[in-house]
Amino acid sequence: MTLGRLFPFFLLALLLLGWGIWEATGLTGKDEYLLGLRIPLEMMQRDAWWVPFIDGAPRLKKPPLLYWLGRLSYEGFGPSLVAARGITVAFALLLLGCTAWLGKRLGGSLGTGLLAAGVLLGMSGMASESRRLMLDVPVAALSISAFCLYLGWLDRRRPVLLLGAAVLISGALLTKGPIALVACGGGLLALWFTRPESRSALVRHWETHALALAAALALPLYWYLHVRQHYGAQLAAAARDELEARQLMALSPDAAIGILTLALPWSFIAFHGLWQRRHRAETRFLGLWLLFTLLPFFFIRSFERYLIGSLPALALLAALALKAGTVPAWTRRLGSLVPALLATALALLLWRWQLGGWLPLAIVLSVFLILWWRRECTPRGLIASTALLWAVAWGLAFPCLGVNAVPTSLVDLARQRPVILFAGPQPALLPLLSGRAQRQTSQMDRLAATDLTPGTLLTLRAEDRPQLDRQLQALGRSARPVMAFQTLSSAGSGIRFARQGTTRADWQLAWNGRSPIPLMSTIQVLEMAP
């Protein structure tokens, strides 16, 4: 019976999260197309495993596990978006499984666990970040899996469970470094505050815990020491850059805003449940777990996606509230507003620009609004409509915009000739589509003469052309045009696709002209002259 209920849910989750990940015009972001997709390609070209490389230099700002998995997937299935993004989808399924297990443990039934997993499946952060080869979903899944195994060890005292937790923490550390400890560590702190016997178990079995800790740290520490020995200067520079980017001890409310956004449309249901059921033991545990996973991010500069590890606690709070039937209509309606506005804006753009995908999105959006704004609605209806809305929006409708579209002729050319992606980089997905890492730079003088041989292609946005011309002139070199095309192009964030410097007048022109052309970037393709 358990397998009969779990298999359909996870099969459906796989279909919803994986829908459209093969689309080159789908949701992406700079960390994916500049790093995540390219690093495994360069590792293959260099036949490097232990230390990731990008643009001819070791990539040391983040540990290597995701890039190891990327190369392994590319080697097994060939370089493709499915091979890359399928890794993140797999970790998302693991995170859903952990949430279901925790829900069953806290709520006393598998039904509560599946409710929690369904809520998590429909949270905006899971729906978007599970579609991109980036670090945040994998590290959250590994860290929370470790916490689940530790809870299992507390119940059964089987050494294999504690060893498994250590292996998973090791994997999390090898994915994103010390930040990997936040989700698992927050859970442990919440457990120690709410269950005194868990503290006594730590004291009574300190030798076992020490061995598990040593096992967890062994491989990450060995990798770090190896890199420090062989690439000490690069590692120190990467650490300085990372510390500067994070702005330690810079107090900011961004984490509070970010978690509300990341958990939509379930945010207000979860927080209302936290308040209404605050005297219950399981709610106190989940509230503390949420607090401890959020607290560090109030003191560093971070992105919303860093908070993925906080979402299971919110999903569990929402599930317990749904099970108890204590969800007022206003929490549903308020939470639905932003997702509905985003989906409406996307549907209107597709309709106005006479592109596909708007009608299915409009239908699913209508169902979503009807169910979320009714006086009464079943939890299954809320969960299904939300998960389907995100899947259709990101997997079907958004790719119809044609963001980052690349002509087939350019892909074929890039498979035959070396390419330098200048600034940008644009076209964002050209390296993966061509199956070659390509080279990216904003400073041509840092390239070796062998990188600038006649016939080498240069790709860039038209707005970056003056900068390139100045740099080539300083080098005494020149480039001649090969082709040019227009496309909407990613600008860092996944949903920012208009040309740099676009004004309100440009948007008005695109709307009135029923065409996205006024918002498009012109991508130029040049070749190095002799």
Angle among Cα 455, 58, 30 to the nearest 5 degrees reads: 70
Residue located via tokens 């704004």: 373
Q: What Rg do the C-alpha atoms of the chain give, in angstroms?
A: 24
Whole-angstrom CA distances from 210 to 54, 193, 202, 204, 217 are: 37, 21, 10, 12, 11
The tens digit of pLDDT for each residue in 471-491 reads: 999 999 999 999 999 999 987
Let me know if residue 272 belongs to a domain.
no
Dihedral angle sign, alpha carbons of residues 217, 220, 224, 230:
positive
Point out the least confidently predicted range of 197-201, 378-382, 450-454: 197-201
- As a whole number, mean pLDDT of residues 370-388 equals 94
Let me know if residue 496 belongs to a domain.
yes
Number of neighbours of residue 429 by Cβ within 10 angstroms: 23
Q: Please, what is the angle between helix 159-176 and helix 181-194, to 10°?
A: 140
Helix%, strand%, coil% for the chain, nearest 5: 70, 5, 25
Angle among Cα 303, 80, 412 to the nearest 5 degrees reads: 115
Q: Which structure tokens are listed for 25?
A: 């015009």
Boundary (domain end) residue, out of 379, 401, 423: 401
Shared domain check, 362 and 222: no
Let me know if residue 421 belongs to a domain.
yes
- As a whole number, mean pLDDT of residues 253-258 equals 88
Shared domain check, 309 and 362: no
Shared domain check, 223 and 121: yes
Shared domain check, 337 and 312: no
- As a whole number, mean pLDDT of residues 492-516 equals 90
The yes-or-no verdict on residue 503 having pLDDT over 80 is: yes
User: For 99, which DSSP code?
Assistant: H
Let me know if residue 262 belongs to a domain.
no
Shared domain check, 461 and 336: no
Boundary (domain end) residue, out of 266, 289, 324: 324
Let me know if residue 257 belongs to a domain.
no
Let me know if residue 265 belongs to a domain.
no
Boundary (domain end) residue, out of 361, 377, 401: 401
Shared domain check, 423 and 297: no
The tens digit of pLDDT for each residue in 326-343 reads: 899 999 999 999 999 999
The yes-or-no verdict on residue 364 having pLDDT over 80 is: yes
Please report which confidence band the pLDDT of residue 1 belongs to, taking 50, 70 and 90 as the band edges: very low
Number of neighbours of residue 51 by Cβ within 10 angstroms: 18
| Residue 188 pLDDT | 95
Angle among Cα 476, 480, 484 to the nearest 5 degrees reads: 140
Please report which confidence band the pLDDT of residue 5 belongs to, taking 50, 70 and 90 as the band edges: confident
Let me know if residue 247 belongs to a domain.
no
Let me know if residue 269 belongs to a domain.
no
- As a whole number, mean pLDDT of residues 296-307 equals 86
- As a whole number, mean pLDDT of residues 2-22 equals 90
The yes-or-no verdict on residue 133 having pLDDT over 90 is: yes
- Helix (H) and strand (E) counts in the chain: 24, 7
Shared domain check, 282 and 361: no
Q: Which structure tokens are listed for 373?
A: 């704004």
Report the predicted TM-score, pTM, of the whole model to 2 decimal places: 0.95
Dihedral Cα 440, 402, 77, 142, nearest 10 deg? 80
**How much is the mean pLDDT over the chain?**
93
Side chain identity at residue 13, one-letter code: A
Judge whether 328 and 352 are in contact, CB under 8 Å.
no
Whole-angstrom CA distances from 259 to 28, 236, 262, 311, 343 are: 20, 32, 5, 8, 20
| Residue 3 pLDDT | 65
The yes-or-no verdict on residue 397 having pLDDT over 90 is: yes
Shared domain check, 448 and 355: no
Shared domain check, 483 and 340: no
**Rounded Cα gap, residues 315 and 512, in angstroms:** 42
The tens digit of pLDDT for each residue in 13-25 reads: 999 999 999 999 9
Please report which confidence band the pLDDT of residue 501 belongs to, taking 50, 70 and 90 as the band edges: confident
Question: Which residue range forms the structural domain that includes residue 110?
Answer: 7-240+277-324
Shared domain check, 454 and 359: no
**If you write DSSP's letter for every residue of 417-472 in order, what string do you get?**
S-EEEESS-SSTTHHHHHTS--EEES-GGGS-GGGG-TT-EEEEEGGGHHHHHHHH
Q: Please, what is the angle between helix 65-77 and helix 159-176, to 10°?
A: 90
Shared domain check, 386 and 303: no
Number of domains comprising the chain: 3
Among residues of the chain, what percentage have pLDDT more than 70? 98
The yes-or-no verdict on residue 258 having pLDDT over 80 is: yes
Number of neighbours of residue 247 by Cβ within 10 angstroms: 13
**Rounded Cα gap, residues 370 and 393, in angstroms:** 17
The yes-or-no verdict on residue 61 having pLDDT over 70 is: yes
| Residue 348 pLDDT | 97
The tens digit of pLDDT for each residue in 158-188 reads: 999 999 999 999 999 999 999 999 999 999 9
Shared domain check, 352 and 306: no
SS3 54: strand
The yes-or-no verdict on residue 458 having pLDDT over 70 is: yes
**Rounded Cα gap, residues 455 and 529, in angstroms:** 7
